[in-house]
Structure 1
Amino acid sequence: MGKGAGYRADIDGLRSVAVLPVLLFHAGISGFSGGYVGVDIFFVISGFLITGIIAREIDGGRFSIVHFYERRARRILPALTVVIVAILAAAAWLYLPGDFESVPKSALAALLFVSNVGFFLETGYFQGGAETKPLLHTWSLAIEEQFYLTFPLLLILLGRHAMRWRTAVIAGIALLSFALAVATQNDGDGFAFYLLPPRAWELAVGALLALGAVPPVTARPLREALAMAGLLAIGVAVFTYDKHTIFPGMTATLPVLGAAALIHCAPRTLMGRLLSLRPLVAVGLISYSLYLWHWPLIVFTEYATDQRLAGWPRAIVVAAAFALALLSWRYVERPFRDASRVPRARLFRMAAGAMAALCAVSLAMIAAGPWPARFDPRVIAMAEAKNDVSPYRGRCHDSSSAGLPACVLGAKAPPGAVVWGDSHAVELAYVLSRIEAEQGRSLVQRTQSSCPPIAGYDPPGDPRCGKANREAIAAIRSDPRLRTVYLAAFWASPLNASDAVLAGLDRTVGLLAGEGRRVVIVGPVPPAPFEVPRRLAHLAAFGRMDEAFNPLGADTRAAAARIEAIARRWRSAGVTYIDPVAALCDGERCLLLHDGRPLYFDSHHPSLAGIRFILARQGGNPWTSPPVRR
């Protein structure tokens, strides 16, 4: 909104309240675990400002849909175009083949304002893979543009044929959207987060304020109280929400209603004066460019360094985001918003040409595929370790609540063993099945993500785990042919260090051993603080393979000691312990590579090569070969 008669400095200040938490959350600044709610504040601001403009022009008989989209093009396209060009160039130079392919697809989706749909289909906001997607944040732009594709037309129709029902219709849309958001908030598939129908109510709340659906608050003390409560509600969400919060849905009401309270009540209050302070207004003015630039800077820096932002690198990236945002606002945003400098016809020609060119470049990059010719073959070999996984992972491993049936792997014979565990047991099951097949035998794979193999373990909030464990133990106990049971999990995870997990594992081992079954516990695989294939590829690119190791952390030592203690307790019952720490580590550091083969396919899951190496060592040291621990 320009600085005309209706300009409100406090709303620019509110923009800074929206963008700063997002920036600090993405940068990993402690205390801002719920900073992602800044996007919800942006939605309310956008709904209020844009609806106010449209409604006033419709009511005054001067609304033009062409002029409306011209304003949107001036506001959105120039800075977005520059950022996409920079991202495509940086990814082409930096990204390894397996990571590069998604970038031009994301660019194409962002240009067509459907990136929210693409990311909904690909990944979750807090799930693995997001850290290599420099255009992930454009999902929110897609939400807004999809909303404004039809919303002005709806207001025009209501203005012509049902003016008296205009506010009621928008309120009805908001209620339906909110109901859908609440109904789908627990689904976990990203529908409520990424898609317009369950997000529209947030923009509609701002729209209702602009349409006068909420009576003005005239009493000064009440206005002060409501404005202060609005800022407090936003603060609670920013400082107390985290990636485990069920969001959006009911929890989104705090930032949304908080922003609405500030928009409605802040003028001529203490909160209004606070939001109108020049530093906050200045950040608000560059907030769009700051939002666009901050995330790709973080993603590319973390990708290049193979580590999360911290210390001076984090400070430099945050400073760079502000610097680029200021330059973008001064030399890209402002000139294109000035109709005297860039007339409408020229704007549309430039926008169409730039978008067509970028779409063509993106399509060409997509057609080029991973483009491995950019790198030395050894670099490619390291990077491709991310694909060194069980060919049956998709068919046999239950990574959601799909309830996949157990798989029988190996020879066509009744299974004599079962591999039971979480995602750390998947590659183990495949490698063991190849060994079993050579002997004319088979085994059963029972694996469920984030679900340790413990009879009776039913963690709150994850009913699929309890169900999977009940089915697994019942199936094992009912089949006397299953003489050997392998138990494997991400034991190095803090989630598996609780007394309940350890006591449950001990109880499960005792139950199975008491029935005369041979129990084999596979201990924790030492996790790395980086994606191993990517780190190895980077080291290969710079001729630094002598640095290809992972420091052994105290937490992993402690996890190995806990699991081995349980195995030792049941040693007399024939329980075997396979110790990946002893197999991979020399006391201070752990192997990442053996005979040119990466031993991990990500940061903590062993690759097929890694499992073969661990089993060959059977709890040994990479420089010696002690026997299996019993």
Structure 2
Amino acid sequence: MQTYRPDIDGLRTIAVLSVILFHVGYSQFGGGFVGVDIFFTISGYLITKIIVEEKCETGKFDFFRFYMRRARRLLPTLLLVVAATLLVGFFMFPKDLTQDLGGSAVYSLLSISNIYFWLNSGYFDAGANLRPLLHTWSLAVEEQFYLVWPALLVGTLSLAASGRKALLIVLLFVGCGSFLAGELLLNGWGPTYIQQLAIDAETTTFFLAPFRMYEFILGGLVLWLPKLGPKRSLLSDLIALTGIGLMAYGIFFVTEESKFPSYNALVPCLGTALVIWAQNGRFIPVALGIGPMAYLGRISYTLYLIHWPATVYYGFWRAGPLENADRIAVLAVTFVLSATVYHLLEKPLRRPTPKRQQLNRSAFGLVCCFVGLIL
């Protein structure tokens, strides 16, 4: 049974703040982009837990309900941000940038923007700061994960007599295969025709979902770890502290020049999994779950979607590198807009109250499709 864990929202806060502070130009957060990898590991844990527990407890899994919940969580804010980004770009950008923005918007709405940017750029290319929807590549990877993961888990649990044990073997096999495939590509060890298809090894392993799958699986594997001692356990705190240290390695010591994803993504993902596992600690889980940390984690999706277009457009208007005052302005706009969108759009549609009329499934789907087609 799913129970709310504020410490996981605290992990989301670390992830999203790392990404935002990296993008606005704080050099201390040179590896802040690994916040995306932290998000992937959190998602792997939560989604695997939802699927495995429902299947094991009830003997079945409601695919339609699962995908409707994901849609209510992701689509309304994404549609709003894409619409606002297109509108601002139409008036602010020259023709060539507007055309590129339109292309990335279409791919974003189809959940394949990672493929668009794989074919057209690298994440750290000089022109990346003129692509307001570049950050949607990670959302596309996550949605592709949602597409295949339930079928894989439910199919394995249904067909294998040993159930969870067989699923563990499958996860280990897929996870190791995902990581090793990336290493082969990055080191040029694969067959020549594979290297040629990859276009650019670093860009391929960065953007494409198969080479990121192990990050989700690391989170899912937490379900098979033995439960740690009683509540307020010192051992749990030591494990969580080790995890925080591994995450800090990625955030503060990985750079744009580092070999990536590779072990530089594996390390913070492993740290995230350790923190999730060590939920019985006396200090670390409590610190992660305090009010401001948990709140920022709850609005982290909206923060992530809004911060990059705000940064790109402000930088384009500024026509130069951001100074400290500019960074503060971008951060302020991002937090105000994100809190507003979360409370007025995301939260009401995701968790409607009894007093508020809820769109039924058909109406919600039709409205999202209609808005998407207009965009």
Q: Same fold (TM over 0.5)?
A: yes
Q: CA deviation at 1:342?
A: 2.4
In the other structure, the counterpart of 2:334 is 321
Secondary structure of the equivalent of 2:135? helix
Q: CA deviation at 1:311?
A: 2.2
**Does structure 1 retain, via aligned residues, the 8 Å contact 2:117–2:137?**
yes
Q: CA deviation at 1:5?
A: 6.3
Hey, what's the Cα distance between the residues in 2 that align with 1:183 and 1:153?
27
In the other structure, the counterpart of 1:491 is none
**Does structure 2 retain, via aligned residues, the 8 Å contact 1:70–1:344?**
yes
Over residues 233-252 of structure 1, what are the superposed CA-to-partner deviations in whole Å (9 max), with x where a residue is unaligned? 11121111111111101111
Match of 2:215 among 202, 220, 236: 202
Secondary structure of the equivalent of 1:109? helix
Match of 2:48 among 48, 51, 54: 51
In the other structure, the counterpart of 2:21 is 24
Over residues 17-61 of structure 1, what are the superposed CA-to-partner deviations in whole Å (9 max), with x where a residue is unaligned? 110010000000130001000000000111111111111111223
The one of the two structures with greater contact order (alpha-carbon pairs below 8 A, sep at least 6) is: 2
In the other structure, the counterpart of 1:540 is none
**Does structure 1 retain, via aligned residues, the 8 Å contact 2:202–2:260?**
no
Query: Which structure has greater helix proportion?
Result: 2
Hey, what's the Cα distance between the residues in 2 that align with 1:192 and 1:5?
33
The 5 A counterparts of 1:158-169 are 158-162=156-160, 163=163, 164-169=165-170
Q: 1:15/1:47 Cα in 2 relative to 1: closer, same or farther (>3 Å)? A: same
Secondary structure of the equivalent of 2:125? coil
In the other structure, the counterpart of 1:174 is 175
In the other structure, the counterpart of 1:530 is none
Q: CA deviation at 1:156?
A: 1.7
TM-score by length of 2: 0.91
Hey, what's the Cα distance between the residues in 1 that align with 2:244 and 2:107?
34
In the other structure, the counterpart of 2:8 is 11
Task: Tell me, yes or no, if structure 1 residue 350 matches structure 2 residue 358.
Answer: no
The 5 A counterparts of 1:541-620 are none
Q: CA deviation at 1:352?
A: 1.6
Q: CA deviation at 1:222?
A: 2.5
Amino acid paired to 1:257: L
Task: Tell me, yes or no, if structure 1 residue 291 matches structure 2 residue 267.
Answer: no
Q: CA deviation at 1:63?
A: 1.8
In the other structure, the counterpart of 1:259 is 272
The 5 A counterparts of 1:352-501 are 352-358=369-375
Amino acid paired to 2:128: A
Hey, what's the Cα distance between the residues in 2 that align with 1:349 and 1:267?
43
Hey, what's the Cα distance between the residues in 2 that align with 1:310 and 1:237?
25
Hey, what's the Cα distance between the residues in 2 that align with 1:352 and 1:96?
29
**Does structure 2 retain, via aligned residues, the 8 Å contact 1:10–1:267?**
no
Match of 1:95 among 88, 93, 96: 93
Over residues 320-378 of structure 1, what are the superposed CA-to-partner deviations in whole Å (9 max), with x where a residue is unaligned? 001111011101111111356222222112112112222xxxxxxxxxxxxxxxxxxxx
Task: Tell me, yes or no, if structure 1 residue 300 matches structure 2 residue 313.
Answer: yes
Q: 1:260/1:5 Cα in 2 relative to 1: closer, same or farther (>3 Å)? A: closer
In the other structure, the counterpart of 2:229 is 218
Task: Tell me, yes or no, if structure 1 residue 74 matches structure 2 residue 72.
Answer: yes
Hey, what's the Cα distance between the residues in 2 that align with 1:45 and 1:108?
27
Q: CA deviation at 1:98?
A: 2.1
Q: 1:245/1:189 Cα in 2 relative to 1: closer, same or farther (>3 Å)? A: closer
- Greater Rg, structure 1 or structure 2? 1
Hey, what's the Cα distance between the residues in 1 that align with 2:371 and 2:158?
36
Amino acid paired to 1:276: G
Amino acid paired to 2:130: T
In the other structure, the counterpart of 2:347 is 334
Hey, what's the Cα distance between the residues in 2 that align with 1:133 and 1:224?
41
**Does structure 2 retain, via aligned residues, the 8 Å contact 1:298–1:309?**
no
Secondary structure of the equivalent of 1:129? helix
Amino acid paired to 1:293: I
Hey, what's the Cα distance between the residues in 1 that align with 2:225 and 2:182?
22
What is the Cα-based RMSD across aligned positions, in Å? 1.5
**Does structure 2 retain, via aligned residues, the 8 Å contact 1:182–1:250?**
no
Hey, what's the Cα distance between the residues in 2 that align with 1:183 and 1:19?
30
Secondary structure of the equivalent of 2:42? helix
Q: CA deviation at 1:309?
A: 1.5
Secondary structure of the equivalent of 2:126? coil
**Does structure 2 retain, via aligned residues, the 8 Å contact 1:335–1:342?**
no
Hey, what's the Cα distance between the residues in 1 that align with 2:365 and 2:330?
34
Hey, what's the Cα distance between the residues in 1 that align with 2:47 and 2:114?
21
Query: Which structure has greater strand proportion?
Result: 1
Hey, what's the Cα distance between the residues in 2 that align with 1:288 and 1:218?
33
Amino acid paired to 2:33: Y
Match of 2:104 among 103, 106, 120: 106
**Does structure 1 retain, via aligned residues, the 8 Å contact 2:229–2:280?**
no
Match of 1:192 among 191, 200, 205: 205
Secondary structure of the equivalent of 2:224? coil
Hey, what's the Cα distance between the residues in 2 that align with 1:344 and 1:26?
37
Hey, what's the Cα distance between the residues in 2 that align with 1:10 and 1:112?
32
Task: Tell me, yes or no, if structure 1 residue 281 matches structure 2 residue 282.
Answer: no
In the other structure, the counterpart of 2:126 is 128
Match of 1:144 among 125, 142, 150: 142
Q: 1:281/1:93 Cα in 2 relative to 1: closer, same or farther (>3 Å)? A: same
In the other structure, the counterpart of 1:564 is none
Q: CA deviation at 1:313?
A: 1.7
Secondary structure of the equivalent of 1:113? coil
Hey, what's the Cα distance between the residues in 2 that align with 1:345 and 1:62?
23
Match of 1:234 among 241, 247, 262: 247
Amino acid paired to 2:74: I
Secondary structure of the equivalent of 2:210? coil
Hey, what's the Cα distance between the residues in 1 that align with 2:368 and 2:42?
25
Hey, what's the Cα distance between the residues in 1 that align with 2:288 and 2:202?
36
